[in-house]
Chains A and B, each alone.
Chain A
Amino acid sequence: MNEMVIRLKGVTRSFNGPKGKIIALNDVSLSLSSGELLAVNGPSGCGKTTLLVTAAGMLKPDQGDVVFVEKDHPYNLPPDRRSRLRAGVIGFVFQQFHLIPYLTVRENIIIPSLSAPGKELDQRAQELIQQFGLHERADHVPSQLSTGERQRTALARALFNRPRIIMADEPTGNLDDENAHIVLKHLGHYVSMGGSVLLVTHSAGAADYATRILKMKDGHLLSS
């Protein structure tokens, strides 16, 4: 039986906007198990990114609870412990890549180890560089990379700490079809190895790789 890695129970999150209160998440509940790639589709502004960061323990919900691996409640932990928990459990991939511009590919991949450097970590970075076909670009900075290479670097960084789950926010949004396919293939491979992916996207192509698809509208999570 696959292990449940993340669970959201009745999560509600709202913001104060210029035109009043905006409910980004409205009583959302979901769970994600290992070996599962859950794709959440929906139009812009429906609350997909809020769902992602709330599920990742970065945005405390107004109501409801988030549980990691059936035992850890990130929002009950002090900030530093929550950061450590997040670093151990979750990897992130974003549409905008968010690579550090003055670091090389190798350094960007290894950056999660900043708080605990070690030699074996260099070995891990090298494995990821090989796995994502970045060995020729390992010493290049992001401005010298193609968009596909940047996203592969971001994906390698997300996998560096061997997380239980990858939170991916429109990872193919800035990529051409070929590179989008490569990224999704890597995510699929990760899931086949027992990992979990929460993929937030409005791309229809991503559905081909998903084990489950949910739709989101006005802060509500709907079944596919």
Chain B
Amino acid sequence: MKIQQLVLKEIIHRKLNFSLSVFATLIATASLIGSIVLLRVYDIRTESILQQKEAELQARMDKLQDDMRKAMLVLGFNIVILPKDQDLADWYSDDYSVKDMPESYVDRLANSDILSIRHLLPSLQQKILWPERRRSVILVGTRGEVPRLHQTPRKSLVQPVPYGSITLGYELHRSMDIRVNDTVKLMGKTFTVNECYEERGNKDDITAWINLKEAQELLGKEGRINAILALECLCTGSSSLPTIRKEIAAILPGTQVIERGSRALARAEARTKVAQEAATTLEKEKRGRETIRHEKERMASILIPAVLLACALWVAFMGFINVRSRREEIGILRTVGISARHIFMLFTWKHLSIGILGGFWGLALGTILPFLFSGPDYALRVGAVGPLTFWLGLGALSLIGASFLSVVAGWIPAMIASRQDPAEVLRDE
């Protein structure tokens, strides 16, 4: 008879003790393997979610890019033509040009054959002190849109201010309690208020628009303008601005061209912002899932050792009970010449069996449960969680780890069994 046969027969004889020990080892292994598989499934799900969101973001970005291209094509963009000697730093800070150019420039441009330029709005702007009201205003003289000679007539985007009329920005009419049809004096000239604008939240709120001719007279700049606004210029993309600049420079050599606040540009900026927000959201999602993973990992790092310890103690307790109930058997085995080493082996073999069986079932349970809890997406995708080496590693960890736990837990009971004094046992029995 071999030790293993005796172990097997004893296991069959004391099924409950063995089953309870295997169950404890199973729980320990399933907890460990389950945690590993759960974290792995979580990682894969995170990867999948982020990949999906990244793909959605990329698709959205592609669509935005396409939309922007189309918008640029259809809506065009706005440019401002300024005198060439105007310092752009001053222009950006004052928001109007202190240099001027001939009003005839706008007519020359309107009569040219440039197709990319559409609506032309010449203006003369200057910040002045409204003497009658003792406050600073931006005075804008405008003659409305200049029709293009070589293009089909279009509906004007901006209507001219009639001669003798004045249009006031929100802050001006509000603060001075001026209403439509009131008459106001500006630099000694009387104007009828034809329109009072709603609040725009920009410099328009302190701007007064009058007819260009009257503005030139009041400012002593007859026949001069300091800006031509070209709205909704046609283009096929942002790279067309240099082309327009080149075309305008050929017609109006004494000017410079800058892009300004076009709707297409604003829309593109809005879309870029949306894309940035989407990217931020994606990053937040990633960090959120990383945080949850760290929490899960932390929880597992506390719970798993506790479960392993509890299970090891349980296996040890079962071992003590087994030794106690086999006291007579140990005594007789020692009496017939079985060595202490063989008695120790007898119990160690049993604990090894407990470990192997518990490890096997623990591996099965620890693998199946996370899949059940992870939903149908992952239920049938064992291969997606890890390659064969991953599962082989888990298998080895289960069997070796569970066997180690069981043998270590059964070490002291086995030592006690092997040190039983047969004489004392038989005398007591």
Contact = CB atoms under 8 A, between A and B. Distances in A.
Interface of A: 49-50, 53-54, 56, 58-59, 79-80, 83-84, 86-88, 91-92, 94, 96, 98-103, 107, 110-115, 117, 157-158, 160-161, 169
Nearest to B3: A114
A100 B5 CA distance: 13
B181 interface: no
11 contacts: A58-B426, A83-B334, A83-B339, A98-B328, A98-B332, A98-B335, A102-B13, A103-B6, A114-B333, A157-B336, A161-B337
Nearest to A85: B337
A101 B12 CA distance: 12
A49 B429 contact: no
A80 B1 CA distance: 20
Contact of B338 (A53, A115, A169): A115
Given A54-B423, A59-B421, A87-B338, 7 more contacts: A53-B426, A88-B337, A98-B426, A100-B332, A102-B13, A111-B332, A115-B337
Closest 8 CB pairs of A and B: A87-B337, A102-B13, A58-B423, A59-B423, A53-B423, A112-B336, A98-B332, A80-B339
Contacts of B340: 79-80, 83
Interface string B337-368: 11111100000000000000000000000000
A86 B331 CA distance: 14
B6 to A, nearest CB: 7
A114 B334 contact: no
Nearest to A59: B423
A84 B331 CA distance: 15
Interface string B13-33: 100000000000000000000
A160 B336 CA distance: 10
B10 interface: yes
A102 B9 contact: yes
Nearest to A83: B339
B1 A107 contact: yes
A58 B420 CA distance: 11
A111 B335 CA distance: 11
Contacts of B424: 59
A117 B1 contact: yes
Contact of A115 (B339, B421, B427): B339
Contacts of B189: none
Contact of A102 (B10, B341, B429): B10
A169 B423 CA distance: 12
Contacts of B329: 100
A102 B336 contact: no
Contacts of A103: 6, 9
A111 to B, nearest CB: 6
